Structure 1
Amino acid sequence: MNDHKKGLVLTAIGGLALSFDVPLVKLGQGELWSVIALRSIFTLVAALLLWAVLRAVRKRPPVLVPGRAGVLAGFCYGLSTMTFLGAVFNTATANVVFIAAFTPMFAALLGWLVLKEVPSVSTVVTMAVMVAGVALIISGGLEVGGLLGDLLAALTSALLAGAITIARKTRRDMGFVPLVATILPAVIGLALVANDGFHVAAPGWIIFDGAVMIPLAFWCLATGPRYLSGPEVGMFYLLETILAPIWVWMIFTEVPTTQTLVGGVTLLLALVAHSVWQMRRRSPLLAKA
């Protein structure tokens, strides 16, 4: 298998695994901070076990947290875990994943402001279209009472974009940072449930999500850029955006509002068009097709 096919397989597995995150959280039927603590603890344990294995088999194991930049990026990732799950508990699944899909555009904006990388005209146009799509989704949240969840989803996108920008600025290997950063929500969650204990009706789903699916998803998606271009990897992140609402609809019959569907389709079309355009620009073979 050549490197490109290897990258396609890895990122496809990662995107598919990530798409089950929200359904598994909902299947757990737990209280917010109990879910945050339980999921984060098992993700952290899985990450440390994986790192220990790599340390035993490699001469140079990956660094868990590369310096102060790693700590800062980890803080962003840790907060994003809490805001993401807070969004899941306070608005519809489709709203969460559609708004979270705005992350690459937030990253482009921060790259412009922080790294002085002037975005292309196509990126600016895509950002404008996606802002309109997010605004439409949030307007639907105003009607159904999910505004808090929509805003938390938008904050999640901004935090993830911040972590991505830090990684790009420092050029450090931060593959383990998103996983190790779960120590922050784990500690905060444990502190908040210390008096009353965990309230999760089906903890097995949360444990499976934290110990298996989240580490698998992040590892595959973090490894993909070694073999694929950024736009190609970004396309596979859209698997969660597309599939998560379908899984939730199939399991919980949660039907998105009209505003969410229209806004979500707007976001998806804008992202797909932008990614395809970027791939055509970077690949001479595609450009000639």
Structure 2
Amino acid sequence: MPLPHLSDHRKGLLLTAIGGLALSMDIPLVRLADGDIWSILSARSVATVLATFVILIAMRLFAGRWPPLVPGRPSLLAGLLYGLSSVTFVLAVFNTATANVVFIVAFNPMFGALLSWLFLKEKPQPVTLIAMLFMIFGVGLIVREGLSSGHVFGDAMALLSALVLAAAITLGRASRREMGFVPLLAAILPAALGLAQVLPSGLSIAHPGWIVFNGAIMMPVAFWCLATGPRYLSAPEVGMFYLLETVLAPIWVWLIFAETPATMTLVGGAILVAAIAAHSVWMAKGKSVQPA
């Protein structure tokens, strides 16, 4: 995906914004498919793997060469982390409220900032820390009345998903290698795990077309863009665009399932969008004025 007229930082902002928008459709499409957890996980992951191989073959035919698939040991570890994050995310969706999932996963950029600070010595800029404070406040408003007890396992899976995803993004940032296909190929792990659970009895999905669309189109776009972003952006910056799911998923659910978001959800979403937009503009402006 060449973007020759954009600076590296703006390429990163554009890619991660597209990836975050695509990712925001994940939960609504999972709900539209209406199936059990292992059927959804396996169908979603198998569709992603098959779509990836189709893309790879097409690129080989038109470009005459294979794109970088798993460049080095860091990519192998990142792939395992991406695969694990898919499993934990779906487990969270099925074992706790949607508000709980998006709230806890929203801590992804904070985990990313901590890991980058510890392992990459990338101290977050003051503007990033300020944006994070606004994000915490906005997310807190969204789920203030949505958090409930009795979902310990689901909440733990969402927290683990945020941490694992942040670790994968940080690895991508540290390696500076092309990892666009790593999270797509990593879908082999949840695909194998899901199929092992459903093969004895078969898939149970009421509307399989939605989950196939999700796995074959939306997830490849989301994961490729978000995995490529760390080549141009810091891990906390990439993690911020995962927050688009926090903002937009309730809106899609409102439009599709007529579930009206609470007033605090709309207010908190507006704060998150404003924080992400202001931070992105500030960072892009700062990069553009730096000497070449």
Shorter-chain TM range is: 0.7 to 0.9
Measured at CA, do residues 236 and 157 of structure 1 come closer, stay the same or move farther in structure 2, by a change above 3 Å? closer
Report the Cα distance in structure 2 between the residues aligned to 1:146 and 1:95, rounded to whole angstroms.
9
How big is each residue's C-alpha offset from its partner over 1:76-134, in whole Å with a ceiling of 9 and x where there is no partner? 10011111112222334344334433323321110001112222233334445545666
Report the Cα distance in structure 2 between the residues aligned to 1:109 and 1:137, rounded to whole angstroms.
24
Indicate the larger mover: 73-82 or 264-273: 264-273
Identity %: 57
Structure 2: stretches of 5+ with no match in the other structure: none
Measured at CA, do residues 154 and 135 of structure 1 come closer, stay the same or move farther in structure 2, by a change above 3 Å? farther
Indicate the larger mover: 87-96 or 257-266: 257-266
Q: SS in structure 1 opposite 2:192?
A: helix
- Contact kept in structure 1, 2:42 and 2:192, CA below 8 Å: yes
- Which residue number in structure 2 is paired with residue 181 of structure 1? 186
CA drift of 1:10 comes to: 5.8
Measured at CA, do residues 19 and 129 of structure 1 come closer, stay the same or move farther in structure 2, by a change above 3 Å? closer
Report the Cα distance in structure 2 between the residues aligned to 1:129 and 1:146, rounded to whole angstroms.
26
- Which residue number in structure 1 is paired with residue 71 of structure 2? 66
- Contact kept in structure 1, 2:117 and 2:123, CA below 8 Å: yes
> Which residue of 111, 115, 123 maps to 1:118?
123
Measured at CA, do residues 39 and 112 of structure 1 come closer, stay the same or move farther in structure 2, by a change above 3 Å? same
Measured at CA, do residues 95 and 255 of structure 1 come closer, stay the same or move farther in structure 2, by a change above 3 Å? farther
Report the Cα distance in structure 1 between the residues aligned to 2:145 and 2:154, rounded to whole angstroms.
12
Measured at CA, do residues 225 and 127 of structure 1 come closer, stay the same or move farther in structure 2, by a change above 3 Å? closer
Report the Cα distance in structure 1 between the residues aligned to 2:221 and 2:171, rounded to whole angstroms.
23
- Contact kept in structure 1, 2:19 and 2:221, CA below 8 Å: yes
Report the Cα distance in structure 2 between the residues aligned to 1:149 and 1:269, rounded to whole angstroms.
29
- Which residue number in structure 1 is paired with residue 208 of structure 2? 203
> Which residue of 234, 254, 264 maps to 1:249?
254
- Which residue number in structure 2 is paired with residue 45 of structure 1? 50
- Which residue number in structure 2 is paired with residue 29 of structure 1? 34
Q: SS in structure 2 opposite 1:30?
A: coil
Pairing 1:102–2:107 present: yes
- Contact kept in structure 2, 1:138 and 1:150, CA below 8 Å: no
TM (normalized to structure 2)?
0.80
CA drift of 1:224 comes to: 6.2
Measured at CA, do residues 147 and 132 of structure 1 come closer, stay the same or move farther in structure 2, by a change above 3 Å? farther
How big is each residue's C-alpha offset from its partner over 1:226-255, in whole Å with a ceiling of 9 and x where there is no partner? 7x7669877765543332211111222334
How big is each residue's C-alpha offset from its partner over 1:263-287, in whole Å with a ceiling of 9 and x where there is no partner? 65555444444333323322339xx
Measured at CA, do residues 276 and 97 of structure 1 come closer, stay the same or move farther in structure 2, by a change above 3 Å? farther
- Contact kept in structure 1, 2:106 and 2:139, CA below 8 Å: no
- Which residue number in structure 1 is paired with residue 5 of structure 2? 3
- Which residue number in structure 1 is paired with residue 163 of structure 2? 158
Count how many residue pairs are aligned between Structure 1 and Structure 2: 284
- Contact kept in structure 2, 1:140 and 1:257, CA below 8 Å: no
Q: What is the aligned-residue RMSD (CA, Å)?
A: 3.4
Q: Residue type of the partner of 1:217?
A: A
Measured at CA, do residues 133 and 150 of structure 1 come closer, stay the same or move farther in structure 2, by a change above 3 Å? farther
Report the Cα distance in structure 1 between the residues aligned to 2:27 and 2:17, rounded to whole angstroms.
18
- Contact kept in structure 2, 1:94 and 1:244, CA below 8 Å: no
Q: SS in structure 2 opposite 1:4?
A: coil
Q: SS in structure 1 opposite 2:116?
A: helix
Q: Residue type of the partner of 1:195?
A: P
> Which residue of 87, 91, 95 maps to 2:92?
87
Report the Cα distance in structure 1 between the residues aligned to 2:133 and 2:201, rounded to whole angstroms.
46
- Which residue number in structure 2 is paired with residue 274 of structure 1? 279
Q: SS in structure 1 opposite 2:210?
A: helix
Q: Residue type of the partner of 1:276?
A: V
- Contact kept in structure 2, 1:235 and 1:272, CA below 8 Å: no
Q: Residue type of the partner of 1:112?
A: W
Indicate the larger mover: 261-270 or 68-77: 261-270
Q: SS in structure 2 opposite 1:118?
A: coil
Pairing 1:149–2:151 present: no
Indicate the larger mover: 162-171 or 143-152: 143-152
- Contact kept in structure 1, 2:24 and 2:246, CA below 8 Å: yes
